[in-house]
Amino acid sequence: MDKQALRERIWDHLETEGIARFPFPPHDRIPNFEGAGNAADRLAETDEWQSADALKANPDAPQLPVRRRALREEKTVYMAVPRLRDEKPFYELDPAEIPPEEYDSAPTISHVESHARQVGPDEVPEIDLVVSGSVAVTAAGARVGKGEGYSDLEYAVLRELELVGPETPVATTVHDSQVVEEDVPVEDHDVPMDLVVTPTRTIRTETEFERPTGVFREELTDERIAEIPVLRER
């Protein structure tokens, strides 16, 4: 199956059916969707969410309600610095250090730097829940991102540093129409989803796909490794 063709189909569908929400167009990004807040509420009903104190979340718009809810529930949120470009490649949003009236703006892409502490891997605690954005996902847990590979790479870095383990749950929130029936290929570096949460249902994938245990450096160019300090130094 052609992953790019699937991406284009989902992006087109969200746009033409009026499901996509700001930012526009939905193409070439993790698309925001109608009901993202409802999906976040449904995720918050799960045991995995309720038992989590620290979560790593992607920075995209459809997961903004997830990040906001985490702060309101006094969970610490970690977001990766774009492209892991800095020596300290994570933003730490600690609700104890942020005024409650700023909880809505703090986890946005445009304001995170004003509210977060930038931290290195040695300052990140063990992560209890990983939340990823998706373009498409299957009920078996296969995920298709926007194609740049940074979400999987961020997970691989955390796994290599033993900040996430083989049992750390990984969830995604998507619109119902982003859950597809195609047989999506899963490569060694792809991170499967344990929970797929939509505005109307929660899917426990019971995924059989293996999780990457670290970074597949042989799949990265020397140039890309050189651009990512946490990889270059290891």
* 3 domain residue, yes or no: no
Query: Residue type at 32?
Result: N
Could you tell me whether strands 129-132 and 170-173 are parallel, antiparallel, or unpaired per DSSP bridges?
parallel
What token pair was written down for 116? 């977060």
Residues 40-97: pLDDT tens digits?
999 999 999 999 999 999 999 999 999 999 999 999 999 999 989 999 999 999 999 9
Mean pLDDT of 195-221: 94
pLDDT for the residue numbered 231: 87
What is the pLDDT, as a whole number, of residue 233? 78
The mean per-residue pLDDT over the stretch 214-231 comes to: 88
Strand partners, 170: 130
Any domain includes 58: yes
Residue 150: which pLDDT band, with cuts at 50, 70 and 90?
Answer: confident
What's the mean pLDDT in 207-228?
Answer: 90
In angstroms, the CA 86 to CA 80 distance is 10
The runs of H, that is alpha helices, within 161-221 are none
- Distances, alpha carbon 198 to alpha carbons 74, 155, 209, in Å: 23, 22, 21
Range of the domain at 45: 33-232
How far is 232 from 86, CA to CA, in rounded Å?
11
Structural domain includes residue 5? no
Question: For residue 232, is pLDDT > 90?
Answer: no
Q: How confident is the model at residue 224 (pLDDT cuts 50, 70, 90)?
A: confident
Inside any domain, residue 21: no
Q: How does the average pLDDT of the chain come out, rounded?
A: 95
| Helix-, strand-, coil-residue percentages of the chain, each rounded to 5 | 35, 15, 50
Helix axes 64-72, 36-43, angle to 10 degrees: 40
> Is the pLDDT score of 3 beyond 80?
yes
Decide if 26 is inside a domain: no
Q: Specify the pLDDT at position 106.
A: 98
What is the band of 200 on the pLDDT scale with cuts at 50, 70, 90?
very high
**Average pLDDT, stretch 189-204?**
97
Residue 23 lies in a domain: no
Number of domains the chain contains? 1
- How far apart CA 40 and CA 199 sit, in angstroms, is 8
For the record, the structure tokens of 81 come out as: 């610095």
Residue 119 belongs to a domain with what CATH number?
3.40.50.10420
117 has pLDDT over 90: yes
Containing 204, the helix (H) or strand (E) segment is strand 202-204
Band the pLDDT of 219: cuts 50, 70, 90. confident
Beta pairing class for 76-80 and 90-93: antiparallel
Q: State which H helix or E strand residue 172 sits in.
A: strand 170-173
